[in-house]
Homo-oligomer: A and B are copies of this chain.
Amino acid sequence: MTACSVRLQIFLQLQAVNKELCSKFEACLGASPSRVEILHYLLEHEEVTQSALQKEVNIDAAAVTRHLKQLEAAGTIVRYKKAEDQRATWVKLEDEAKRHIEQSYQEKSQFVKETLAGFSEAELEQFLQMLSKVSENVSRVTKIELGGEDI
């Protein structure tokens, strides 16, 4: 194995962890993180427009449309327009679906808890701050100037 700097290892580990996390999550919950996010948001927000939902789950509007069409076809949600604004599509959970989704809340909580087992509250805070810092850094990066020293 190549000798890697800590930075590079972090970069790789971040991606590896995320992948494992998503695939395990789906195996445990029976739906992808995005799908679960959508459903949980709907559980907490009675009705919502697609665009608001899209901002929340942070995936492309096209992907949201496709998720919602599937959920509608499965009878999990209803979609409808309102007189005020004929552009917006509102989304709402079907009553029968709510109970099932409430249960998945528990599973998600438990999942998240187990993946972060062994961290003290202080460490969790710190971890979150680190992730936030990376996020800020990433959004600042635009185009790489070459010639930086090797990492």
CB within 8 Å of B: which residues of A? 2, 6-22, 24, 28-29, 33, 37, 44, 58, 103, 106-107, 109-119, 121, 123-128, 130-135, 137-141, 143-151
Contact = CB atoms under 8 A, between A and B. Distances in A.
Contact of A7 (B103, B113, B148): B113
B139 A10 contact: no
A28 B144 contact: yes
B110 A133 contact: no
A132 to B, nearest CB: 7
Contacts of A9: 128
A64 to B, nearest CB: 15
B18 A110 contact: no
Contacts of A117: 137
Contact of A114 (B103, B123, B137, B146): B137
A58 B132 CA distance: 26
Given A15-B22, A15-B33, A138-B20, A144 B111 contact: yes
A128 B13 contact: yes
